Amino acid sequence: MPIKFQPKFAITAKIASLLLRIESVKEKIRHLPLTPHVLASLRETARLYTTHYSTMIEGNRLTPNEVEEVLKHAGHFPGRERDESEVKGYYLALNQVEKWAAKQISVSEKMIQTMHALVMGKGRSVVKATSYRDGQNVIREGHKGRIVYLPPEAKEVPDLMAGMVNWVGQKSDLPCPIVAAIAHYQFATIHPYYDGNGRTARLLTTLILHLGGYDLKGLYSLEEYYAQRLSDYYQAISIGPTYNYYDGRAESDITSWVEYFIEGMALAFENVLKQMKIVEKEDDKSPALRQLDPKQRKVLTLFEKFETVTAAQIGKLFHFKPRTSSELCKKWVEASFLEIVDPSRKGRTYRLAKSVQRNRN
């Protein structure tokens, strides 16, 4: 029978303040008008970035551009077949989550098992829901092999999962973001599979938020927040006096994790609002600016602060490697989006092309 789940946490002043920020942004974005074309483009970019960052956390080596190449243009990168399979699986699972959310289908164990099957399905769209693990698994630190977490025994997993799903589905006064945060933590605590737990936990979080009205038109990526603060992510979710589940993790106070999660939501939401305001302003100004792709629109935020920028600054904005950033700048120069200011190899800088500048003013 389900094991009753009773999380221990407190709604601190910090959490309350962050929740207010989230609600404020949510309301503002609801009233921002965007053309269907622009909205679809931004939503697809968010999907690609979510797929990139969630798989990158688990060690995937594909860059955002390579992820797009694999998913949109059947691109292939020899020697990285496993990476390609991972992004295909995650992307399919994410699309399925959005379909469930659109139909307002409540969270169930079968849905979670299907999510996991898609994540691990190497890009197959038809999969069989995967059963929970039938043995003990151990979470070890990468290169050192040190044990960092010993999850509950396999025989307890079905009842623990049933208890978690029952808790998520019950009527509660808790705000949806807190429910999502706790569900993420508890899924990671149970660790119901040998592999794919992190990706499935993040998808479960997305499903709960979307079902609760926090989809934000599908334009945000919590995964980017996790990836940028990865050490904080692991530190926040690694709660308990020891690495052993049976030595206190189940009874631990998880307030610090909830704070970390809610802060990530607030920052991700506020970033979307900033981007959408820029897009809205551009749409009002010029038909030419409406033709910019999402990456170009995002780069415009740099030119709000700087007259000229380097490839390194653009790379930092997108978390690209130097070579990828340089290639993107070259492509944008050829497309008359950027102009080279200083052509020297070491000090090369770029500004917006005159035609783009005119349309922004």
Cα R_g (the chain), whole angstroms: 22
Instruction: Give 242's contacts (C-beta < 8 A, 6+ positions apart).
Output: 248
Burial 40-67 (b: 16+ CB within 10 A, else e): ebbbebbbbbbbbbbbbbeebebbbbbb
Give the pLDDT confidence score for residue 13 in this predicted structure.
97
Helix axes 36-57, 294-303, angle to 10 degrees: 90
Backbone torsions φ then ψ of 343, nearest 5 degrees: -80, -10
Specify the amino acid at residue 86: E
Tell me the pTM. 0.79
pLDDT in tens, 9-32: 999 999 999 999 999 999 888 877
Give the pLDDT confidence score for residue 55 in this predicted structure.
94
Question: Does residue 98 surpass a pLDDT of 70?
Answer: yes
- Please write down the long-range contacts of 106-113, taking CB distance under 8 Å and 24 or more positions apart: 106/169, 106/211, 107/165, 107/168, 107/169, 107/204, 107/207, 107/208, 107/211, 108/165, 109/161, 109/162, 109/165, 111/207, 112/161, 112/165, 112/187, 112/200, 112/204
Cα–Cα distance for residue pair 48/105, rounded to 1 Å: 24
Q: Confidence class of residue 287 from pLDDT cuts 50, 70 and 90?
A: low
Please compute the mean of the pLDDT values over residues 129-138 and round it to a whole number.
Answer: 95
Nearest to 19 by CA among 167, 169, 174, 171: 174
pLDDT in tens, 292-337: 777 887 888 788 778 889 998 898 888 888 888 899 999 999 999 9
The DSSP code for 4 is P
Please compute the mean of the pLDDT values over residues 59-65 and round it to a whole number.
Answer: 91
Please compute the mean of the pLDDT values over residues 280-287 and round it to a whole number.
Answer: 56
Give the pLDDT confidence score for residue 43 in this predicted structure.
86
Please compute the mean of the pLDDT values over residues 248-261 and round it to a whole number.
Answer: 90
Go through the domains of the chain in sequence order and give each one's CATH number. 13-276 (1.10.3290.10), 288-360 (1.10.10.10)
pLDDT in tens, 157-203: 999 999 999 999 998 899 999 999 999 999 999 999 999 999 999 99
Q: Confidence class of residue 133 from pLDDT cuts 50, 70 and 90?
A: very high
Q: To which residue do tokens 């409406």 refer?
A: 290
Pairwise pLDDT comparison (99 vs 292), residue with the higher score = 99
Q: Confidence class of residue 62 from pLDDT cuts 50, 70 and 90?
A: very high
Least confident range from 103-112, 227-236, 252-261, 327-336: namely 227-236
Cα–Cα distance for residue pair 50/87, rounded to 1 Å: 10
Give the pLDDT confidence score for residue 4 in this predicted structure.
83
- Mapping DSSP onto H, E and C, the string for 117-162 reads HHHCCCCCCCCCCCCCCCCCCCEECCCCCCEEEECCCHHHHHHHHH
